[in-house]
Structure 1
């Protein structure tokens, strides 16, 4: 009888120990699966959709890779990630409504902002008011970074530091004296136009045509007729994919001869190259570091292709890096609190896939600027520099 009692007691103790161990494991698992929700307002429809779709895929790829590696350790907690993207339909009012929802309802600490500068500038006051980080990896208008917007950061190039090397190349390397500028009638297009005029004047060249078209335009005949009449040495066209394909097609149809350059990184994307076809041949494209060839970029491309069955598109890699920059700042801050992360970002130096990101006390990272030529359907880098 005594033997049975001791045996039963041992079984009960073992069961209790197992239960306690199991409970501890479940508690640890619960701690390990704390969720960090990110937010993004990236266009899936409308004239900014081509870039927006790349951005969403890049953010989601970063989320999946981090989760597959066991999450991210921030302070005392380990988080798995999720992202809530809201399609702004390439419209200002939709972007503002999306920002309101993300910060007030979803309570995200960071929002990856819209592809277009105009819509990004529209949402930044909402983010600032609610002390929520805004990270821009496409919008390049200078006003995205300003003293009044302490929570707004940018990991990519600005319209000025993209334009200046472009104009330098045309004037110094191609001997250009006169330029026609055709730009989107938005904050990016107008900021680029202003910078082009200033840089050209400083180098002794002149912008003799400066015209703007509405976002998503398809008929450029009137503008190109003005270009033909002015007979410039070069044309600079600031357009995305949807309007850019139409612009370069009609440019070729009119058999215009001036050198053509675009400050739009998206023209280096396989998406644009396929859509534009032979019309893109000979176009010069100013980009960020997405056209660089480094061991880090090659390794990322190989891993991405292994997972997704294709090579990454430019803004997919840019978006991936931007997520990692924010997560690194959160790790440095030991917190997801936007104010602490903001302060950590300003001190951050982070080696990403595309480049080294250094904010040096500002809200704008250093960037790599490449000037490239489209040749035989491929993007060939001509020159590169680092600037802020």
Structure 2
């Protein structure tokens, strides 16, 4: 196993007045400065734009820090990074067109995939067919990674990963016996629904309603009325930004009294909490490590805001970790060749801002999972575990 020592302790030191990537700062006389282009398909319009915007600013920030300190030493040469992002408009057909454009550029070894599972799953086959790494830190459909996708890596949780702890929390900690589920009609939403049913059955509970809605929906009165009629002990939702805000607001308008749990990480973001306001009070949210807090992470958040003027939102921080994970894998591999970089990733143990990413020879990283509760607009961790 290769222990990766290139972490955000160094990055944070750079932000706060030390030096980031000291190895990259040592330029030998014979070394040439080159550029490696990182492809990305982050939605800036459509239903996934809020997540895509977070991912974009985090990626830009990480690349800026790498370049400001002289780049990364990869083999005999020093490389600076350049980002090529294409807005897929939150549409699968646009994501396909974007992926085809990116793989046509032979200087792009890695594509950071779109926010949603459906668009990511449209991109992965194109990246792999052309020998490029597809790296996802948002899409959670289980099929994003697996034996059939040797170049598709993920550092975030899958829909299955955070569902079991969430449902176990409801059943064991809250005594819930009946669950109603409302999810997006996409790969992520359906995978979450299947996992909820399986976990509930295993723990002796029952899913009394399962309903799906199309992306972009804003009217949930009918589904929520149906959920109330099913008399569940709790309601579980899988929705993103716009649809999620509408869902929880209408949940409160209809005065449903059952606990509500979201399996969408975006619900814990400051943007979502602000948009939903007091309607979020008492809501449970199952997330990855983005709700965690420690002195190093808190200092990074402060430094990020001081430099960019923006809050370091969950997917911004995740993007920073992923850019630096790729940079370190290239440094370790001594090349930008996608196959060799992929080999380095599989062997990697990398300490990022949010957690330690460890692949153990596969393409799915370990993930920290938090179950949180919202109180007075603040997200607090109730329980935490690490899983793959």
Same fold (TM over 0.5): yes
Matched, 1:174 2:174: yes
Structure 2 residue aligned with 1:199: 199
Q: Which residue of 1 aligns with 2:282?
A: 282
**Aligned equivalent of 1:44:** 44
Contact 2:33/2:77 (8 A) holds in 1? no
**SS, match of residue 199 in structure 1:** helix
Q: How many equivalent pairs are there?
A: 362
Summarize deviations over 1:305-355 as a string: whole Å, max 9, x none. Answer: 221234300000011101111111111100100000011100000110000
Matched, 1:86 2:86: yes
CA distance in 2, matches of 1:62, 1:101: 23
Query: Residue 31 of structure 2 contacts residue 76 of structure 2 at CA under 8 Å; is this kept in 1?
Result: no
In structure 2, what is the Cα distance between the partners aligned to 1:146 and 1:290? 24
The 5 A counterparts of 1:342-361 are 342-361=342-361
In 2, distance between residues paired with 1:310 and 1:121?
30
* Distance in 2 of aligned mates of 1:345 and 1:219: 43
**1:98-152: per-residue Cα shift (whole Å, max 9, x none)?**
0000011364100000010011011111011100000000001100002111110
| Aligned-partner SS, 2:131 | coil
Structure 1 unmatched ranges of 5 or more: 1-26
Q: TM-score, normalised by structure 2?
A: 0.91
Partners of 1:139 and 1:42 in 2: how far apart? 12
Residues 151-300 of structure 1: matches in 2 within 5 Å? 151-300=151-300
**Could you tell me which residue of structure 2 aligns to residue 334 of structure 1?**
334
* 2:55 paired residue number: 55
Higher helix share: 1
State how far apart, in whole Å, the 2-side matches of 1:303 and 1:275 are: 25
Task: List per-residue Cα deviations over 1:173-226 (Å, max 9, x = no partner).
Answer: 100000000000000000000000000100001100000000110001110111
Paired with 1:249 and 1:33, the residues of 2 have a C-alpha distance of 53
Q: Provide structure 2 residue ranges, at least 5 long, that are not aligned to the other structure.
A: 1-26
Paired residue for 2:380?
380
Aligned partners of 2:32, 2:283: CA distance in 1, in Å? 50
In the TM superposition, what is the alpha-carbon distance from 1:32 to its structure 2 partner? Answer: 5.0
Query: Hey, what does 1:5 align to over in structure 2?
Result: none
Structure 1 stretches of 4+ moved >2 Å: 27-33
CA contact (8 A) 2:346 2:363 kept: yes
Whole-Å separation in 1 of the counterparts to 2:59 and 2:345: 18
> Contact (CA 8 Å) 1:145, 1:152: kept in 2 or not?
yes
* Counterpart secondary structure, 2:227: helix
Q: What secondary structure does 2:78 align onto?
A: strand
Alpha-carbon deviations, 1:343-386, whole Å to 9, x = none?
A: 11000001100000100010000000000011100101111000
Q: 1:97 to 1:30 in 2, by over 3 A?
A: farther
Contact 1:296 1:354 in 2 (8 A): no
State the structure with more CA Rg.
1
Partners of 1:377 and 1:287 in 2: CA distance: 16
Structure 1 partner of 2:324? 324
C-alpha RMSD of matched pairs (Å): 1.4
Judged with a 3 Å threshold, the aligned counterparts in structure 2 of structure 1 residues 270 and 109 are, in CA distance, closer, same or farther, namely: same
Q: Which has the higher contact order (CA 8 A, sep 6+)?
A: 2
Task: Find the aligned partners of 1:261 and 1:210 in 2 and give their Cα distance.
Answer: 14
Change over 3 Å in CA distance of 1:320–1:29 after alignment to 2: farther
> TM-score when scaled to structure 1?
0.91
Q: Residue in 2 aligned with 1:132?
A: 132
Query: Counterpart in 1 of 2:13?
Result: none
